[in-house]
Structure 1
Amino acid sequence: MKTRFSFLLLGTFVFYQPGYANAAGVNAGEQDSDLPAWASERVEPLRERIGLWVDGTSRSIDSFFGTQDSLDVDNESYLRISQELDWMEGEGFNNDFGLRYRIDLPTSEERLRLIIESDPEETQGTLAEQGSGRLTNDQRDRRTSTLGLDWLESRDKRDNWSNRVSAGVRLRLPIDPYVRFTSKRLWQLSDGPWQLESNNRLSWFNNEGYFARTRWDVGRPLSDAQHLRFITNVQWREEEDTLEYSETAELNHRLNERSALRYSAIAIGESASHPRMTNYYLQTRYRRDLHKGVLFADVIPELHFQRETSYDPRWAMSLRVEMYFQKQLAENYFD
């Protein structure tokens, strides 16, 4: 199995290199796409048709609750469809289809914004379940769409704490009301290249209780193409009643305008009274913009050392394809 895994990983990386793509019949003149001409001719009309529908629907709802300016302002609504294949040594394969959306209604009020979205942060499970970014297939709970009002402060997080208060309901039966408070801050450290960002959330769902999470991210650019980050997460959910924490060292490397690599070393632990580490793992994530900021592919190999398996090394692998639908093409979905 490990031999087949190595060949699969090697073959996938080779396939995604631009030179191989052109040799495989991709139109060399299409510098923003790896797709052959026949595939591009089918993807573009589909992307434009659904993207216009997403944009038009959100602006129609916005004009009902807000003002006629909804036809002109920037709108960040989107729809994302993904297909993911996961493999973990000793557990076999898992194939998942994901759907995520966000309907943005920016003119409902200057600071009071109506938001409809799927997969809120509170429903994404434990830190171990969120874990590596390979588990972003939106399959943890398909009943997590929320409808709510966000009150936003106009303050810049680089100068002051930027706060947001939200209230609404989760769209399922029985109705699940929630209240949420989010606070963010960004500091430039000693006028140097290092930046420290804090992102904090406290929320309450009627059916699941309280949720608290704090994230501290310190990093600096190493060059125009490389960025180093150290990330600390601490999370507590009343439903689990366990304090969790994780430490991540991460090096992001942009290979070119359409490809990026991320190297990560992650440690995950739990419990405040009797702290213990439950998982260490190494991860490499290769992300490729296959077509014009619309179609993306990820290759994510991992090596895990888990407490439950006596820290014996176990390989994991994810292959993911994502397609975004919105009116304007995305400039950057690598972050």
Structure 2
Amino acid sequence: MKHIILPLLLLALGPAHANHEHDDSDLPHWAVDKITPMHDNVTRWLDNSTRNIDNFFGTDDSLTIENGSYLRFSQELFWHERDRFSSDTTLRLKLDLPTTEERLRILIESDPEESQGTLAEQGANTARDDRFRTEDFLIGLRRLGDRDKRTDWRLDAGAGIKVKLPLDPYVRFTGERLWQLGDSPWQLESWNRASWFNEEGYSVRSRWDLGRPLSDTYHLRFITNVQWQEEVDTLEYSEGIELDQLLGSRSIIRYAAVAVGRSASDPHLHDYYLLSQYRRNLHREILFVDVIPEVHFPREQNYDAEFGITLRLELLFRGDLSWGR
């Protein structure tokens, strides 16, 4: 698969290769013929495997009910003014087993929130959709709340193990709430989680997202993240402002500014980021490309600007994804 991703990334950056016969794809016919059989085989395996596991623990409804399982494969090239070039290949998997029990789900998931490090380590990732780490994998049970977060707090609880040697058990509680602020277009969303992992200890994280549409093509958001981890023992926070612009049915660009700080007793900001993220649906909602230039102003470098750019290609496998050819 790796040998397919890089050529497609180069192809995606060349508009001369765009296929104008279909408005749902930029790929030429030979590329579509190359990627379609591979995508269909992996998607079929993912869908069948998930439904068979769900049917074993649940009911026959698993064969027909909508399933939210997905596999996301991405490959990125990154250039930074200080670190120069690097590359990374990541995989994110989530298996959804909706009929195992009413309000009780078996969870098989990679890349949990708890494994993404400190806010300083995440940096500008809090403003973009690429927080992937494939070395962490969870298997457990999740008890779903039965409340609508638009009218009340929705509370979930979960427990299981992180698959590593030695096995690392965990327990976590999650609360979500969504407020419509009067008759205005503003919405405030809150996501909060308290976790315990045997190896890392306790952690608490909270995200508050205030946003509104400005028009049919623009959306404004103010995002606050607060995080505490026992092994770090420092309160961290980040403030971000994002403006999303819809460029068409298959393209969007995000402009963002992020400030990261720490300490409750002597709060101070230690990193600033400016970035934009261009994302395009290259092929029928299964193949995407991201171009992300950014400027980092680190305190440790006296806030001197450091430039970087990321190119990423993402391939999505989802069993309930339907698209014509």
Cross-structure match for 2:257: 265
1:212 and 2:204 equivalent?
yes
1:197 aligns with 2:177: no
Q: Paired residue for 1:125? A: 117
Residue-by-residue CA offset, 1:73-105 (whole Å, 9 max, x unaligned): 110111111101111111111110101101111
TM-superposed deviation, 1:330:
7.4
Q: What's the offset of the Cα at 1:192? A: 0.7
RMSD over aligned Cα, in angstroms?
1.6
Distance 1:25 1:86, change over 3 A: closer
Secondary structure of residue in 1 paired with 2:117 = coil
Match of 1:250 in 2: 242
Match of 1:58 among 50, 53, 56: 50
Please give the alpha-carbon distance, in whole angstroms, between the structure 1 residues aligned to 2:129 and 2:18: 31
Maintained 8 Å contact 1:129/1:135: no
Residue 130 of structure 2 corresponds to residue 136 of structure 1:
yes
Task: Report SS of the residue matched to 2:91.
Answer: strand
Alignment size in residue pairs: 311
Q: Secondary structure at the match of 1:172?
A: coil
Partner of residue 165, structure 2: 173
What's the TM-score, normalizing by structure 2?
A: 0.92
Local SS of the residue matching 1:223: coil
Given that 2:68 and 2:320 are in contact with CA atoms closer than 8 Å, whether structure 1 keeps it comes out as no
Structure 2 unaligned blocks of 5 or more = 1-8
Distance in structure 2 (CA, Å) of the matches to 1:118 and 1:151: 18
2:119 & 2:35 partners in 1: Cα distance?
A: 36
Shift of 1:48: 1.2
Change (3 A) 1:225 1:135: closer
- Structural mapping, 1:304-323, within 5 Å: 304-323=296-315
Deviations 1:189-215 (A, max 9, x none): 121100111100000001110110011
Per-residue deviation at 1:25?
3.8
Give the alignment partner of residue 32 of structure 1, picking from 14, 21, 24: 24
Which residue in the other structure is 1:289 paired with?
Answer: 281
Is the Cα–Cα contact under 8 Å of residues 266 and 281 in structure 1 kept in the other structure?
yes
Identify the match of residue 184 of structure 1 among 172, 176, 189.
Answer: 176
CA displacement, residues 211-261 of structure 1 (integer Å, 9 cap, x when unaligned): 100111101000111100000000011111111100001000110111000
Per the TM alignment, residue 127 of structure 1 is displaced from its structure 2 partner at its CA by: 1.0
Structure 1 ranges of 4+ moved more than 3 A:
none
The separation in 2 between residues aligned to 1:182 and 1:267, in whole angstroms, is 25
1:121/1:319 CA distance change after superposition, 3 Å:
same
Q: Are the counterparts in 2 of residues 300 and 317 from structure 1 also a CA contact under 8 Å? A: yes
Shift, 1:328, TM fit:
3.1
Segment drifting more, 124-133 vs 247-256: 124-133
**Partner in structure 2 of residue 113 of structure 1:** 105
Match in the other structure for 1:45: 37
CA distance in 1, matches of 2:86, 2:263: 29
Please tell me the residue identity of whatever aligns with 2:63: L
CA contact (8 A) 1:150 1:164 kept: yes
Deviation at 1:316, TM superposition (A): 1.1
